[in-house]
């Protein structure tokens, strides 16, 4: 066998180790699954006292199905075959006469978790990397290999639907608490625990009565509630998969093969194809900086405002030691407070929170720059101020240190003039809110040192963001495409359409937030300045000028296009959206994206799509603006 | 020991130092654990060094009362400071001189060639001293463990005496009580007041002066060694908060005697304050100074430790500093500035009196007569523990560090930092500014 190793131990336990040939991580390709069927054949002839399924990879258990296979499902038969392949195999695993156990260490996702769910016991190893979930919905499909049946049986339908509909993952402790894992143990005892648990004869902890009712006669109650939740997040015309998951569970007990029409519809939906495309785009972004062995240990951030403070906190959360510089301690305090809140939310364990706070060091004198591997400037947008800063900074830097600016509106070419080595300055441009936005633009001006750009990309990967290399140009990619889009939206308001209607048109298009609400969030003054810079000299919208004159600057001032006094935009009913409004409003964004590709600001159309999706939230189910344009013709 | 022998010891330099503000214990636990204070002060100090925390050879922290979850607090703080797993960290305990002991231990390791660069200091968070179960309760719990059945456990609960449950042992009071002679530290100071005839008026005057000196030093910016600390709510603590601008003889007269109730003279106000704080010094060999291009504040010339009657532990400085000075052929006058830790106003006054007392000097120190006196403007010129506070483990490190700053400020050369130690000890360090 190529991918599986079988080891029979004294006492008759067989350990089946999956170590997919030629890959760093395990995935359930057709070949891997066919081999596993052979494993089951062999064991059927000569039944062991128990079977342990584990991974031979350092990365984790199983990352899921082989997503490359999804791109080859060109006929309905192939789609159904794919579903049947796992459904049948895991049903077979679930019905073997001997006890089975999945030893889960590292990621165990999608098909991997469905494999584990088909085992009698699920043993989770308590390590930071251990993550379990059924994220199929994020690829526009459903967990068709038994997950929709077995997860609700194990943890109850409410929790199961929550996992399947959001695609979120849980760690080992949580898995034990929810009843997904039978035990959660540290790695040092996992081998003993696996063997003891396997032969324990222990029955499954029964679901509470209420959950059993909800997974039986009262399914319709849960299904109705789940649909109501999903409607708030995803429209069925954009994202059919979550609705299909609810239906398949409620009507067919999770057996997708009982509803072949649904299988065909979902697997061949443009959404699924496009989300798979987005997945591969994301993988491509993750590849930037890979060939570079730069690894930062200390980061120095200058400017403790919203961006600088949040960048610092994010780097700390990702394990780095960060010195955060500003003129006074008082200016740094709000950032420390926000960081503490972020750590508390993300880390939970008091020792880890304390460790994170220890690694975020306020630095009024700027001494941290001397020791830093990466220095990020995030002070206010003034060429003079940044010049003064860079002049003082450069002699202090370590030789190989990355010197970066988080500027969004100034030209790197202008900023670097004061440097003895101007080629070392790169842009590392984060988006607000830093903890939520996955994309970071890595900006290279003409003549930038390729090694510095590489190192910047590697750093962005190190802190678990997606680097997008872009050339220096006003607004880079993301802001440059957003500006004409927001202006078009405001011009629509000038033409007499309500802000609510404009926003609704774009929500219906699939945007995560309406453009007018986005302007309010960004700040009207910022939008006006950005518009002047990025709109090719077009007239600013009247509604924007008027609002700014009246001091209505958006969310931050309590009022912009909307009233924000409650902390949320008070919106009236949107009313009827004029036909084609959404398409019309998105047109300038697409046109600008095309132009930026043509100008070489971003290397190719796919990367542009990736950048716009991960940087703006542009409707992922469309596959990105240029893909959307191409498909629409 | 003649001077020639001393010169065989390689010099040990103090290259920098920092401390947290000293935070007076209010009602209940303070905002910081001892390791929090040591970490925040230490990371600010390390940040401004040309070397990285990993370049230290070791971290030594004095602490008299770490909390139960701060076992080997020196190692714990070394890790929290980002010194990495490979830099050893350890903890020393010599009660009130734990911070001074940390410095002396660093010196020893540098002088015998075991280390070049050491972070040494002291810390205590006295406001977090625990309440403990009484012996009665401990025995009750132990017996509970032995009860196997629900019935026997229930019957055992009927034996629980609420009075024992509700009268915890105050850990801090235990710490401030001599374990051999059973006296509270304040009672040992009452002994000195009685012995040398120091009255309440003198003590109160001394205490008021301590506050006034600390206030004017703060106004003049003489506490540059303080680095602000920030709690998890984003609140900054930038100054010693026990120093009183409104200190006056009228106010000082109000509190009643605390240790010998009713008939004593020593009050909470003319004693050092119960305080949380941390202080650190970076100590370096000559080689390390050269390697990292450090600019030393000064060097530590010599150290002396002495023992005496625990019931008069406050005279520890007299017993430690006298032989230290004699060894270098110096008298009290030859020292430019003194930091004599103010455990109690009566205790500092007692030390000064002892040096001027011919009988005491003859009988206890083997001197021909009185050793002399220290000029008022040379002693604790920026206040002391009565006004600034006495986070037990930190004080010894604080006075050494502050003394170096005082010497440099006044372009003076020689100083002595000395401290009395509960249990009947004294410690003294002879320093020279660079």
The pLDDT score that the predictor gives to residue B170 is 84
B390 included as an active-site residue:
yes
Residue A325 sits at the chain B interface (C-beta within 8 Å): no
Catalytic entry in B96, B211, B361, B405: B96
Chain A residues 334-363 with a CB less than 8 Å from chain B: 334, 336-337, 340, 354-355, 357-359, 361-363
Provide the pLDDT confidence category of residue B8 given band limits of 50, 70 and 90.
Answer: low
pLDDT, mean of residues B75-89 = 98
CA distance A403 to A377: 8
Give the count of domains, chain B: 1
Residue B39 sits at the chain A interface (C-beta within 8 Å): yes
Distance from CA of A329 to the nearest CA of B (A): 8
Q: Give the CA distances from residue A226 to residues A234, A273, A500, in Å, rounded to whole numbers and listed in that order.
A: 12, 25, 27
**Helix (H) or strand (E) run with residue A471 in it:** strand A466-471
Q: Which residue of B has its CA nearest to A369?
A: B47
The distance of Cα B327 from the centroid of its chain, to the nearest Å, equals 25
CB contact under 8 A, A365 and B48: yes
Distance from CA of B230 to the nearest CA of A (A): 8
Which member of A354, A359, A367 has the closest CB to residue B48?
A: A367
Question: A4-268 with A292-473: one CATH topology?
Answer: no
Q: Which neighbouring-strand residues pair with B344?
A: B271
Query: Is the CATH number 3.40.50.880 carried by domain A479-600?
Result: no
* Residue A206: partners with Cβ closer than 8 Å, 6 or more residues away: A212
pLDDT one-digit tens code per residue, B263-284: 999 999 999 999 999 999 999 9
Residue at B147 is within a domain: no
Q: Which residue of B has its CA nearest to A365?
A: B48
Domain ranges of chain A: 4-268, 292-473, 479-600
First to last CA, chain B: 24
CB neighbourhood size of B40 (10 A): 26
Provide the pLDDT confidence category of residue B162 given band limits of 50, 70 and 90.
Answer: confident
CB contact under 8 A, B230 and A329: yes
* Residue B15: partners with Cβ closer than 8 Å, 6 or more residues away: B49, B282, B283, B284, B289, B294, B295, B296, B297
Query: Could you give the angle at the alpha carbon of A78 between the alpha carbons of A76 and A82, nearest 5°?
Result: 120
Interface A-B: count of C-beta contacts within 8 A: 37
Catalytic entry in B319, B390, B402, B405: B390
Residue at B169 is within a domain: no
Phi, psi of A204 (to 5 degrees): -70, 140
Reading the block at residue B423, the tokens are 């249990």
Residue B375 sits at the chain A interface (C-beta within 8 Å): no
CB contact under 8 A, B52 and A357: no
**Helix (H) or strand (E) run with residue A329 in it:** helix A329-347
Residue at B184 is within a domain: no
Residue at B390 is within a domain: yes
Which chain B residues touch A345 with a CB distance below 8 Å? none
Q: Which residue has the tokens 């760093």?
A: A24
Give burial (CB, 10 Å; 0-12/13-18/19+) of A351. Answer: exposed
Residue A366 sits at the chain B interface (C-beta within 8 Å): no
* Residue B139: partners with Cβ closer than 8 Å, 6 or more residues away: none
Residue at B52 is within a domain: yes
Distance from CA of B36 to the nearest CA of A (A): 9
Residue B44 sits at the chain A interface (C-beta within 8 Å): yes
Residue at B257 is within a domain: no
Which chain B residues touch A337 with a CB distance below 8 Å? 233-234
Interface test with A, best of B43, B81, B278 (most A CBs within 10 A): B43
Which chain A residues touch B232 with a CB distance below 8 Å? 340, 357
Interface test with B, best of A296, A301, A362 (most B CBs within 10 A): A362
Q: What is the mean pLDDT of chain B?
A: 95
Residue B230 sits at the chain A interface (C-beta within 8 Å): yes
pLDDT one-digit tens code per residue, B294-350: 999 999 999 999 999 999 999 999 999 999 999 999 999 999 999 999 999 999 999
CB contact under 8 A, B52 and A340: no
Phi, psi of A523 (to 5 degrees): 110, 130
Which class does domain A292-473 fall in? alpha beta
The pLDDT score that the predictor gives to residue A533 is 80
CATH number of the domain located at residue range(s) A4-268 in this protein: 3.90.226.10
Domain that holds residue B61: 13-129+273-433
The pLDDT score that the predictor gives to residue B2 is 42
CA distance B285 to A230: 67
Report ipTM (2 d.p.).
0.91
CB contact under 8 A, B43 and A365: no
Which chain B residues touch A362 with a CB distance below 8 Å? 230
CB contact under 8 A, B230 and A333: yes
CATH number of the domain bearing residue B399: 3.40.47.10
**Helix (H) or strand (E) run with residue A104 in it:** strand A100-104
Chain A residues 161-220 with a CB less than 8 Å from chain B: none
Residue at B210 is within a domain: no
Residue B82 sits at the chain A interface (C-beta within 8 Å): yes
pLDDT one-digit tens code per residue, B201-232: 999 999 999 999 999 999 999 999 999 999 98
Which chain B residues touch A368 with a CB distance below 8 Å? 47
Catalytic entry in B63, B83, B361, B420: B420
The stretches in chain A having pLDDT less than 70 are 633
pLDDT one-digit tens code per residue, A23-39: 999 999 999 999 999 99
């Amino acid at each position: 066998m190529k991918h599986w190793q079988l080891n029979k131990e004294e006492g008759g336990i067989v350990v089946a180790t999956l170590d997919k040939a030629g890959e760093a991580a395990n995935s359930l390709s057709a070949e891997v699954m066919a081999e596993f069927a052979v494993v089951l054949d062999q064991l059927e002839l000569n039944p062991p006292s128990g079977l342990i399924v584990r991974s031979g990879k350092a990365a984790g258990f199983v990352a899921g199905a082989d997503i490359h296979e999804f791109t080859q499902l060109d006929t309905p038969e192939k789609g159904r075959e794919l579903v049947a392949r796992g459904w049948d195999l895991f049903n077979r695993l679930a019905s073997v006469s001997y006890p089975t156990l999945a030893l889960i260490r590292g990621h165990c996702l999608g098909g991997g978790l469905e494999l584990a769910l088909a085992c009698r016991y699920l043993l989770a190893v308590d390590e930071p990397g251990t993550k379990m979930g059924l994220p199929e919905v994020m690829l526009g499909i459903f967990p068709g290999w038994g997950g929709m049946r077995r997860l609700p049986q194990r943890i109850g339908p409410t929790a199961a639907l929550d996992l399947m509909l959001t695609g979120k993952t849980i760690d080992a402790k949580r898995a034990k608490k929810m009843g997904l894992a039978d035990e959660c143990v540290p790695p040092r005892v996992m081998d003993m625990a696996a063997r003891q648990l396997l032969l324990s004869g222990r029955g499954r902890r029964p679901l509470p009565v209420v959950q059993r009712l909800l997974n039986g006669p009262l399914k319709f109650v849960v299904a109705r509630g789940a649909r109501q939740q999903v409607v708030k997040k995803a429209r069925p015309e954009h994202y059919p998969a979550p609705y299909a998951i609810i239906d398949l569970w409620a009507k067919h007990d999770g057996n997708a093969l009982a509803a072949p029409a649904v299988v065909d519809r979902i697997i061949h939906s443009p959404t699924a194809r496009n989300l798979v495309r987005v997945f591969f785009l994301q993988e491509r972004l993750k590849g930037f900086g890979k060939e570079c062995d730069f690894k930062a240990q200390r980061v120095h951030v200058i400017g403790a405002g919203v961006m600088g403070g949040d960048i610092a906190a994010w780097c700390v959360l990702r394990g780095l030691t960060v010195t955060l510089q500003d003129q006074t301690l008082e200016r740094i305090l709000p950032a420390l407070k926000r960081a503490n809140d972020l750590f508390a939310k993300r880390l939970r364990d008091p020792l880890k929170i304390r460790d994170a706070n220890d690694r975020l060091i306020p630095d009024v004198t700027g001494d941290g720059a001397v020791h830093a591997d990466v220095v990020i400037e995030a002070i206010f947008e003034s060429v003079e101020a940044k010049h003064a800063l860079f002049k003082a900074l450069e002699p202090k830097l370590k030789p190989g240190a990355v010197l970066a600016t988080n500027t969004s509106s100034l030209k790197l070419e202008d900023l670097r003039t004061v440097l003895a080595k101007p080629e070392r300055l790169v842009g590392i441009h984060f988006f607000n809110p830093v903890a939520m936005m996955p994309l970071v633009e890595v900006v290279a001006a003409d003549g930038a040192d390729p090694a510095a750009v590489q190192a910047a990309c590697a750093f962005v990967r190190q802190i678990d963001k997606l680097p997008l290399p872009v050339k220096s140009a006003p607004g880079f990619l993301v802001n440059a495409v957003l500006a004409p889009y927001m202006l078009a939206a405001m011009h629509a308001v000038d033409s007499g359409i309500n802000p609510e209607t404009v926003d609704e048109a774009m929500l219906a298009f699939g945007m995560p937030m309406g453009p007018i609400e986005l302007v309010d969030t960004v700040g009207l003054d910022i939008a006006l300045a950005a518009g002047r810079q990025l709109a090719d000299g077009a007239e600013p919208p009247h509604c924007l000028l008027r609002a700014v004159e009246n001091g209505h600057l958006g969310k931050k001032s309590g009022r912009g296009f909307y009233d924000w006094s409650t902390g949320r935009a008070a919106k009236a009913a949107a009313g009827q959206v004029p036909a084609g409004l959404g398409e019309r409003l998105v047109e300038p964004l697409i046109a600008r994206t095309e132009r930026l590709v043509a100008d070489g600001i971003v290397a190719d159309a796919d990367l542009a799509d990736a950048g716009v999706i991960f940087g703006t939230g542009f409707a992922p189910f469309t596959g990105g603006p240029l893909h959307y344009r191409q498909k629409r013709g | 020991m003649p001077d020639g022998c001393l010169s065989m010891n390689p010099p040990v330099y103090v290259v920098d130092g920092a401390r947290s503000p000293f935070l007076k214990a209010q009602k209940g636990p303070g905002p910081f654990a001892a390791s929090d204070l040591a970490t925040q002060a230490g990371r600010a100090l390390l940040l401004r060094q040309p070397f990285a925390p990993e370049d230290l050879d070791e971290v030594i922290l004095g602490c008299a009362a770490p909390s139960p979850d701060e076992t080997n607090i020196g190692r714990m703080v070394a890790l929290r400071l980002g010194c990495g797993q490979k830099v050893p960290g350890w903890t020393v305990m010599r009660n009130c001189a734990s911070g001074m002991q940390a410095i002396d231990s660093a010196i020893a390791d540098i002088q015998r060639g075991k280390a070049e660069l050491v972070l040494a200091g002291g810390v205590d968070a006295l406001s977090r001293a625990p309440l403990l179960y009484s012996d009665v309760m401990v025995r009750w719990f132990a017996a509970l463990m032995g009860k196997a059945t629900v019935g026997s456990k229930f019957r055992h609960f009927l034996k629980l005496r609420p009075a024992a449950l509700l009268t915890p042992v105050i850990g801090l009071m235990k710490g401030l009580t001599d374990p051999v002679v059973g006296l509270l530290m304040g009672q040992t100071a009452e002994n000195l007041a009685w012995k040398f005839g120091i009255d309440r008026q003198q003590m109160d005057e001394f205490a008021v002066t301590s506050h006034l000196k600390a206030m004017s030093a703060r106004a003049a910016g003489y506490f540059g060694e303080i680095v602000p600390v920030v709690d998890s709510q984003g609140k900054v603590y930038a100054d010693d908060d026990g120093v009183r601008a409104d200190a006056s003889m009228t106010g000082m007269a109000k509190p009643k005697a605390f240790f010998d109730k009713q008939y004593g003279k020593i009050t909470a106000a003319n004693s050092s304050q119960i305080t949380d704080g941390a202080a650190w010094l970076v100590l370096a060999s000559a080689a390390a100074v050269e390697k990292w291009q450090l600019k030393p504040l000064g060097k530590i010339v010599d150290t002396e430790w002495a023992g005496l009657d625990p019931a008069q532990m406050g005279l520890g400085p007299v017993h430690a500093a006298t032989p230290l000075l004699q060894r270098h052929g110096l008298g009290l006058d030859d020292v430019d500035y003194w930091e004599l830790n103010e455990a109690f106003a009566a205790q500092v006054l007692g030390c000064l009196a002892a040096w001027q007392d011919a009988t005491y000097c003859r009988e206890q120190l083997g001197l021909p007569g009185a050793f002399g006196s220290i000029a008022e403007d040379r002693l604790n010129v920026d206040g002391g523990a009565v006004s600034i506070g006495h986070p037990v483990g930190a004080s010894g490190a604080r006075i050494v560090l502050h003394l170096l700053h005082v010497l440099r400020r006044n372009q003076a050369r020689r100083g002595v930092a000395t401290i009395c130690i509960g249990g009947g000890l004294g410690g003294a360090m002879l320093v020279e500014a660079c």
